[in-house]
Amino acid sequence: MSEFFICNKYIYIYIYICLFHFVANEEKLLIRYNGGEKEWEFTLLLETEGGKEFYNRLKTSTYELNLLFISKENIVYLYMNYFDSFPPLIQDNPTEKINYSSGDITSNAKSFYISLFTGSDKEEKIGYIKTEGFAENIKTLIGRNNNINLEFVLERDEIEKPDTTKKPDTTKIAEINKKIIIAIIIGLSILIIFIILKFIV
């Protein structure tokens, strides 16, 4: 039996890492308007140059970007030309056109875009808005100058050490316990599957 555990030490390390990450740290990428009056969740495509670069920046800082609203015929989007405080997310302009949908976040070497309509252009898709109704919400919030300030945030939901001076938050404790139980069940299920496969093979 000891040989089984020695041979499969990497399996247990992997399960431990997965469970620790599941319980201890959850991340959300958020776009906020007016300090959180409105909030939308988005995701970044980390396999793309621009998506990975934007994610790495958000790990160290939040960005409040002033985006212009353009609505001409079939072109409806928010965009911003890059500047010194927010340099390009990709270095070279894409050479081929891509198709994009409403809510897609795209970039080229000169500008950053959030599409509010379907279309195509020489850009790299770096992410997309996950929350439904983003385009409709934005159109009602655009100011007189056809621009809007949006804050891009990487929010981490980490389990904090309890403060003994305060009464425990029973709701938060229940949520944490629920996550731990789910994580344990998933971990045990994976372990049982590996053990069964080991004996079969």
pLDDT digits (tens, 9 = 90+) for 161-178: 445 455 555 555 666 677
Closest CA to 58 of 134, 133, 153: 153
**Distance of alpha carbon 143 from the chain centroid:** 27
Q: Which residue has the higher pLDDT, 93 or 18?
A: 93
Task: State the chain's mean pLDDT as an integer.
Answer: 83
| 13-22, 58-67, 90-99, 180-189: least confidently modelled range | 13-22
What local confidence, expressed as pLDDT, does residue 200 receive? 73
- pLDDT per residue as tens digits for the range 118-151: 999 999 999 999 999 999 999 999 988 899 999 9
Fold of 27-158: Cyclophilin (2.40.100)
3-state secondary structure of 145: coil
| 7-11, 61-65, 162-166: least confidently modelled range | 162-166
Q: What is the mean pLDDT of residues 11-19?
A: 53
* Residue 23 clears pLDDT 50, i.e. is over it: no
What local confidence, expressed as pLDDT, does residue 159 receive? 47
- pLDDT per residue as tens digits for the range 104-115: 999 999 999 999
* Residue 198 clears pLDDT 90, i.e. is over it: no
**Distance of alpha carbon 72 from the chain centroid:** 30
Q: What's the sign of the alpha-carbon dihedral 51, 54, 58, 60?
A: positive
Tokens for 153, please give them: 């945030």
Run of H or E including 173: helix 170-200
Run of H or E including 148: strand 147-158
